[in-house]
Amino acid sequence: MLQADDIKSLFSSLLNSYTDIFFMRGRISGIIILLITLINYNAGLSGILSILSAYTIARILGYQSTFLSTGYFTYNALLVGLAIGYMFQISALSILMVIIAGSLTMIITIVTAQVFYQLFGLQILSIPFILVSTLVYLSAASFTNLYVADLYAQSHLLNLNLFPYWLSGYLKSLGAIIFMPNEITGLLIALLLLLNSRILFILSLTGFVVGIVLYGSFTGSVESAALDISGFNYILIAMGLGGIFNIPSLKSYSIGLIGVAFATLIASAGHVFLSQYGLPIFTLPFTIVTLSFIYALNLLKYPLQTRVYLGTPEQNLEYYLTSKDRFISNYAALSLPFKGKWYCWQGFDGEWTHKGIYKYAYDFVMLDADRKTCLNDGSKLSDYYCFGQEVLSPVRGRVVKVIHYLPDNTVGSVDIVNNWGNEIIIEDSRGYIVKLAHFASHSIHVIEGQWVDVGMVLGLCGNSGNSPQPHIHIQIQSDYSDVAATQAFVFVNYAQLHRFHSSGLPQVHTEVRNCQFDLYYDQLSNFVLDEKLSYDVYLQENKIDSFSFQVKMSDAAGYYFETSRGKLYFGKQYGNFYFYSIEGNDPYLEKIFLALSTLPLSYTAALTWQDRINNSLVLHRWQLMAATLLNSFYTTFINTRAEYCYVDETTVQGKIINNFFGIEIDTRVQLDPVSRFKTIQVGDMQLRIK
């Protein structure tokens, strides 16, 4: 007997199958597309039955309901059911055919999904649908009883005959994706696309027009190309490459349209070959072109590939724009190898020695108020401010090499034989190989094989090796050898000119401060699972409401504040507290996010920092639509940023700014070791802990 969870999973699988075809999300969209397919009840009912058959065989085989609920494993079965229902009217024989074909599609989907992901890191798109539908269409010719009794003519009453040929062709092709190639179906789907995503709608129309113009130019008739319903391949390619599998951008749009151009060649060849067997081309051009591009872009590590799909290209774009500068990049992340304030003497591709394969390195010294590195004339090593200062471990890892016995050079001389002088090589726990060089003679405190943590003292700054004056040299390299090429990296948690940077590269010839982790701020930003916090809400000093949230943990082990109206996710990375994202529609959770989207877990007087805020938190609906569309062409066109500052050790003041729409919102948070966020002020609204 079906359990409640099974019914819920089956319902989700059913609706998600419909939305997945058009790269959408949401139950309402799923219900609408399902109802559209029922305009032709033969196709619509066959599609539903095929999903049920696929789901059932998967459960019989032992697959869990949660595994099937996404729709990823059932949308191919839906397409197969629609294809059969498009050819044959509902009867005992066609129902049997749908059950067999739907079940077979599920088996092929499970197998191909695993193979494609393991071997190529790819999704299967509509490969199972193409395989099974081809089998069905080939078999139908020999299934005489089915072919004669249940074949039926398609209705032409659903065409309005009001549109120019190119628009009529677009609508019919859009409807043909669900095997209903008529104008009314296409019009309904086009409206649904427009409501869900302006980017997808524009891509679908642009891709179709580019495809038929190119194809028509080759064949001599654009009108004939527009009437070929296999033009839905151009629509799917443009949407897939331009806005789904890649973050919307000018480059992604170009890739999508190039893919459409390639599809004209595949479509033409496919028509010639498959027509000999009486077969349609199905989604073969879309599948070949899209998978080829995705694989090629994977190899190139294309930075705009979609890593997390949130439901629409607009949401993906906003997530990308707000995340790419908030968190650590793909480069290795190192802490600064010293305490307090030092001076960036040389950086990447430096003025003197950081050249060629050795260009990814940093040198640091100490300066006095006169911007000198030493006392007096600097004739003695002890005159240099950084000589003998502690050098800290920039990573957590295992020490794999130590040289400590080389002498320090006298000022003005260098050791060109032992280039690195006294050195330490650490194999970071993430696999990076970090070298620190020019330690003082016999000053290294660690031994080979020893594990070290971030901030642990390794030794003292010296002047050994090819070093004209005492300094710290740090780099990441490709292997353990002395001639290994260097690799790019970033530093975390540092301040320059009172500006905090969670990650980046310190500006050369500028002082930089190591913002070391402070346990006080770590404890202040700790929230206990199932803890409940309550606030009174004031508007211009008048109490208007109260609200509470509870601390919960997600299935992915992330934490969030939960109310009846939403969730606010938070966490810590590299010594910083972050609010990651918000779900639902809770205005008070939004205020918390705006007031302190991120907090450095360290303190320096008057320290300032900046963060990128999701436009949706401050813009009205029409503003957000315009911002997202414009940002897809130029990513920094419209952005919202937060500027924060430590007023004192327990007060953070900020301002939310969107210059394009002239938005400025003042914020203020009072921190407290017991109540954490004691008061939260955003504009005229204030939240006070109870």
Residue 24 — φ and ψ, nearest 5°?
A: -110, 175
Same fold, 1-153 and 332-515: no
Domain 332-515, CATH homologous superfamily name and number: Glucose Permease (Domain IIA) (2.70.70.10)
Paired tokens of 535 = 């606030």
Secondary structure of 115-139 in the HEC alphabet? HHHHHHCCCCCCHHHHHHHHHHHHH
On whether the CB atoms of residues 363 and 414 are closer than 8 A, the answer is no
Does pLDDT of 374 surpass 90?
A: yes
Q: Per the structure block, which two tokens stand in for 126?
A: 């509509």
Distance from C-alpha of 690 to C-alpha of 680, rounded to nearest angstrom: 12
* Beta-ladder partners of 494: 501, 514
Residue 245 pLDDT: 95
Residues 70-85: tens digit of each pLDDT? 888 999 999 999 999 9
Q: Say which amino acid occupies 232.
A: F
The least confident of 9-13, 47-51, 568-572 is 9-13
Domain at 1-153, CATH class:
mainly alpha
Radius of gyration of the chain (CA): 31
- How far is 17 from 27, CA to CA, in rounded Å? 10
Contact 297, 247 (CB under 8 A): no
Per the CB < 8 A criterion, the answer to whether 390 and 444 are in contact is no
Prediction pTM value: 0.83
d(CA 456, CA 307): 35
Q: Would you state the pLDDT for residue 1?
A: 47
- The percent of residues above 90 in pLDDT, for the chain, comes to 75
Confidence (pLDDT) at 167: 95
Position 66 confidence tier, pLDDT thresholds 50, 70, 90? confident
Q: For the chain, how many residues are written?
A: 690
d(CA 422, CA 404): 5
Q: What's the pLDDT tens digit per position in 161-194?
A: 889 999 999 999 999 999 999 999 999 999 999 9
Top-confidence residue, 99 or 558: 99
User: Mind listing the pLDDT tens digit for each residue in 292-324?
Assistant: 999 999 999 898 999 888 889 999 999 888 888
User: Of the CATH numbers 1.10.3430.10, 3.90.850.10, 1.50.10.10, 1.10.3720.10, which one belongs to the domain with range 162-312?
Assistant: 1.10.3430.10
The total of other beta-carbon atoms located within 10 Å of residue 216's CB is 18
| pLDDT reading at 233 higher than 60 | yes
Residue 175 and residue 82 in contact, taking contact as beta carbons nearer than 8 Å: no
What pLDDT was estimated at residue 310? Answer: 86
- In this prediction, residues 507-516 reach a mean pLDDT of 94
Start-end of H helices in 579-663: 587-595, 621-631
Question: Does residue 543 contact residue 568 with C-beta atoms inside 8 Å?
Answer: no
With bands split at pLDDT 50, 70 and 90, how would you rate the model's confidence at 156? Answer: low
Is residue 516 a contact partner of residue 574, using CB atoms and an 8 Å limit? no
Model confidence pLDDT, tens digit, residues 473-493: 999 999 999 899 999 999 999
Answer yes or no: is pLDDT of 343 > 70. yes
Sequence ranges of the domains in the chain: 1-153, 162-312, 332-515, 520-689
134 or 69: whose pLDDT is higher?
A: 134
**What pLDDT, in 10s, does the model give residues 605-620?**
999 999 999 999 999 9
- What is the arithmetic mean of pLDDT over 224-232? 92
Higher pLDDT, 80 or 331: 80
